[in-house]
Amino acid sequence: MATPKILVLGAGYGGLMTVKGLTKSLGASDAEITLVNQNPYHYFTTELHKPAAGTAHHDHARVNIASVINTNRVNFVEDRVVSINPSEKKVYLENNTFDYDHLVIGLGSAPETFGIKGLLENAFFIRNIDSVRMIREHMEYMFARYKNDPKEEYLTIVVGGAGFTGIEYVGELVDRLPELCREYDLPQEKLRIVNIEAAPTVLPGFDQALVDYAVEYLKGKGVEFYLGVPIEECTKDGVVLKGGEEIKSSTVVWTGGVRGNKIVEESGIETMRGRVKVDENLRAPGHDNIYVLGDSSLVIPKDGERPYPPTAQISTQQGQYLGKHLPQLMRGESVHAFQYAPKGTVASLGNRVAIGVVGSKKLFGGSASFMKKIIDLRWLFLLGGISLVLRKGKL
């Protein structure tokens, strides 16, 4: 009997946890495991707001994949996925084609633009290592230009979206911009950080006392909030809000939401806004050999109507579940349903301040910031053990 082929697409939080688990739950001759990723590194999506603002080097937000997986057991392929053909059980890459018996899709997300005109063409996105490098370099170039050509839009940063990524990025900017003012001899009073959110509140769904704390802290640092005001258009000169107000800015960064990956949408697998509503074992509907996790998946609680938000935390747990239970599912055995167990949520507001909920306890300021750093260290430990914590960890 041929050795079953397991193909894992994407080395994000879910994909890496899946292959790390499979190397423990499967014997060396039980299956061929192949992991495909576009880059030779895994990047920490929860850390990208820091290099985007310039408060950390982008190398702090990534780790070499070969250093955290067992390359004797996992065939790692650095290539870009082009298409998935479930009927043929094939995945087409830019430079290769792979057959599979069991497919795990963890290809991440794409920006959700909500049809805003000009957004894809004129805004920056906190998406990956390359995109945050571009944001930082562009922002600093605009600051450098101001001395010779003092246009206010060079010193105006518009952040679209006040969810997690938006607020954490704004928090990093609050820490970074005073340093840049000194570096480029700029008048700090001319700087503007404008955070625009279509919903009536920042961090929708978060505890109101924590939201109030975050808004007051950031306002105290000079951040301007436009809440309940959608962006209608993004141009090369800035943004136009509903009602016609224009905010001139040379640096517009969009953090206002994600949708599933287009490759999954085009594969013929049933999706909702590009995401797959998976069953209790994380299978795609109508495909008992295809599993979907991370931002490409939709997991709806038994007692709820709204899906869990796509976070690193749920992706990690999905990967741990598949890493442990995929061998049983391959054999046709019954396995308990995936159950997401939230460990708490913490949003940083710069390096020393944060807000969060852990269990039933609300955390503010320094104690929340310390908890955020502990959560980050936990992921490093899960990924690469104590050696990775010592290499990459920061308290």
Full DSSP string of 259-315: EE-HHHHTTT---BTTBEE--TTSEETTEEEEEE-GGGEE---TT-SSPPP--HHHH
Query: How confident is the model at residue 343, as a pLDDT?
Result: 86
Model confidence pLDDT, tens digit, residues 191-243? 999 999 999 999 988 899 999 999 999 999 999 999 999 999 999 999 999 99
Burial class (CB in 10 A: 0-12, 13-18, 19+), 236: exposed
| C-beta of residue 216 within 8 angstroms of C-beta of residue 208 | no
User: How far is 299 from 275, CA to CA, in rounded Å?
Assistant: 10
SS3 of 231, please? strand
Model confidence pLDDT, tens digit, residues 31-47? 999 999 999 999 999 99
Q: Which CA distances in Å does 239 have to 6, 122, 199, 247, 288?
A: 46, 10, 17, 5, 46
Q: What is the pairing mode between strands 238-241 and 246-248?
A: antiparallel
- Does 5-38+79-111+258-342 carry CATH code 3.50.50.100? yes
Give me the residue spans of the domains in the chain: 5-38+79-111+258-342, 113-256+343-395
Q: To 10 degrees, what angle do helices 312-330 and 13-25 make?
A: 30
- Beta-carbon neighbour count of residue 76 at 10 Å? 17
| C-beta of residue 41 within 8 angstroms of C-beta of residue 63 | yes
Catalytically active residues, by annotation: 168
Average pLDDT on 92-96 reads 98
Inform me whether the pLDDT recorded for 304 exceeds 90.
no
Return the structure tokens found at 374.
Answer: 């502990």
Q: What's the pTM?
A: 0.95
CATH assignment of 113-256+343-395, given 1.10.3720.10, 3.30.1330.10, 3.40.50.720, 3.50.50.100? Answer: 3.50.50.100
**Rg, Å, the chain Cα set:** 22
Return the structure tokens found at 349.
Answer: 């507001």
Task: Say if 5-38+79-111+258-342 and 113-256+343-395 have the same CATH topology.
Answer: yes
Model confidence pLDDT, tens digit, residues 47-85? 999 999 999 999 999 999 999 999 999 999 999 999 999
SS (H, E, C) 118-143: CHHHHCEECCCHHHHHHHHHHHHHHH
